[in-house]
Structure 1
Amino acid sequence: MELVKVGVIGIGNMGSSHVQLLDKGQIEGAMLTAICSSNESRIEWVKSHTKGNVQIFGDEETFFNESGIDAVLIATPHYSHPELAKKAFAKGIHVLIEKPAGVYTKNVLEMNEAAKVNGKVFGIMYNQRANPLYQKLHDLIHSGELGEMKRTNWIVTDIYRSQSYYDSSKWRATWKGEGGGVLLNQALHHLDIWQWTTGYMPNRIRATSSVGKYHDIEVEDDITAYVEYDNGATGVFITSTGEAPGTNRFEIIGDRGKIVVENEELTFYQLTQSEREFNKAYKGGFGQPEWKKIDIPVKSENANHPMIIQNWIDSIRKGSPLLAPGEEGVKALDIANAMYLSSWLNETVELPVDPNYYFEKLQEKISTSTFEKKNVTNTLLNVKGTH
């Protein structure tokens, strides 16, 4: 395929950015040919910010049936991602979805099955997988240099959000509109990087979350989770949108040392021998294994959305491997669902979460909600890197 005809559905914060990237020709081998939005103000924005040869559709059925696109970038609110992706696959259209893959794993698993059956190129906007910092971390761990993982610890509180952010639209920070708070919107990238770099999914989670601790919202803006892995390793994940100045520190401890990612720097505290081997052989009481500190030169780049789109287009045109396959979106979502469920039930939850049970519990949250937003501004935000 010489040139991929791309459509964008959803022209909000992220969709607008994608429209501009494609319209300006910044994605090699791709051409923006259609958009879909039911919002008249966003349609007017497209008309005034594109070259004028973009088809505009107001409803998704006509968009998928008549646009003639080869591929679609889905940037609509969270709940709609799986259904729109399934419609696209049914029409033989390649798909790139914004994160999260969905709100609950039940329909995300159905989406993954539809992708498998139709055989189209399916990606997800996990742009942090294109960050050289995390790519290097991934390669270090998977090379075996760190040895078997013993513990992980990630504090992610540098994602502060003000009340005005949550007031920017009616659907934000509600169970019905967004399906969650900091876990689904800001920290999902970190949940993905957590499992992708280490190669480990937790098998048990115990979490506590605080609903509206720092903001007038009905979903969580602060969460602490303890996890266990099937090899006996443990981990802690802490995130919040209510702390300033925030921290972003990721530690991974293995039997051959420790890796720390902080302040966009990567440091490897490498043992000269396995801690397990030293433990068995050493007879001197208070000694410990020798280690050396290695500062690994790597530049962090956070705004990698164009790289994920380019990678997706290249996969369509050339068959190159995807950095962020859409099917893998269910992994971080399963972790998030488990954290929510553990907090709601006040008990430890095993993974994978029962998709039907989680769906039922989420519907209870929605149906019993009495929360009303007081000050909705309907403001389009200038978003950098996360939602």
Structure 2
Amino acid sequence: MTALATTRRLRAFVEEKAHAAGFDKVAVTTPDAVPEAPARLRHFIEEGRHGSMAWMAETAERRERPQNLWPQVRSIIMLGMNYGPDENPLALLERKDRAIISVYARNRDYHDVIKGRLKQLAGQLAARAGEDVKVFVDTAPVMEKPLAAAAGLGWQGKHTNLVSRELGSWLFLGSIFTTAELEPDLPEEDHCGSCRACLDVCPTDAFPAPYQLDARRCISYLTIEHKGPIPHEFREAMANRIYGCDDCLAVCPWNKFARDAAEIKLKARDDLKEPALETLLELDDAAFREMFSGSPIKRIGRDRFIRNVLIAAGNSGQDSMVPACHKLSADTSPLVRGAAVWALSRLLDGKEFSRLAEMAQADEMDEDVRQEWHLAPGRTP
């Protein structure tokens, strides 16, 4: 059997096992398939668009080229798993008393789900080919989206996320690096054309140009990665989005080909489809951990989560949330207290809020909390 025939049989084996493991798409590329990636990454970091994600700068050299992460790699298998929702996530924006959780985070942590399947597939490949393998899912310094585009899984749309002609925007990515020689696929063409739907829908103008993202303005970054108070300029635009944002994904016209997730662990839990803000405001640390056990939401911790819920409460216009917000204005976390003050400033009329301000003890406040009182016009304690 020729070397080419052996390579093709191995490739067919990988595809068969990948689909059996639940992956919807599988393709192969080479470690040097994205020569423009280092310059793009450097520009992103130099512009400060990574915000407080210092790890992006710290791992930039390894992230730039797959060979910098693992010099022995010869082929990269890129895999995609569909997590499409069964309804339009944008519809929930009209229900201001309900919380919007990004589609990807409504059930089990996809890192755990996909990594387990990748390890299974990689083990089968290693046993069959006698080659070394390494698996990566998002947390390692790997540029999955450019590599996936180079492999032909889809293309990076103007919102910088991967778009598939068969599955739309809802695709989790994982990769297997291997020392095996596999025949690479051709990259997918860009099919965005003149469409600007994803750019125009962004509530915080997070795209300085097509195919560029400023994470500092992105609601996903602000609600998940950002550890301090949410900047005031973005709070109203957050509306009732409390964890992530799917707007730019949801409006993509290619989603006409999307389908519901097949993997049961990626289908939305009923209690996370449209949770009531008032219920979430009641969560203490123990209840938060119990509710989000096994969920990616757990990693941001209770205080950041409640900060986000309080912003949504302030945007809700619902008087019924005032008692919970008032209680949280005395929370042990200054991050929570500050967000509660802002929510109260939005839910109470000026006279009621001023009365609370007069009762506040400014000399006992953290600076961030004092600023929240101060930034409510004419209502400084």
Q: Could you say whether these structures have the same fold, taking a TM-score greater than 0.5 normalized by the shorter chain as the test?
A: no
Structure that is richer in helix per residue? 2
- TM-score, scaled relative to structure 2: 0.26
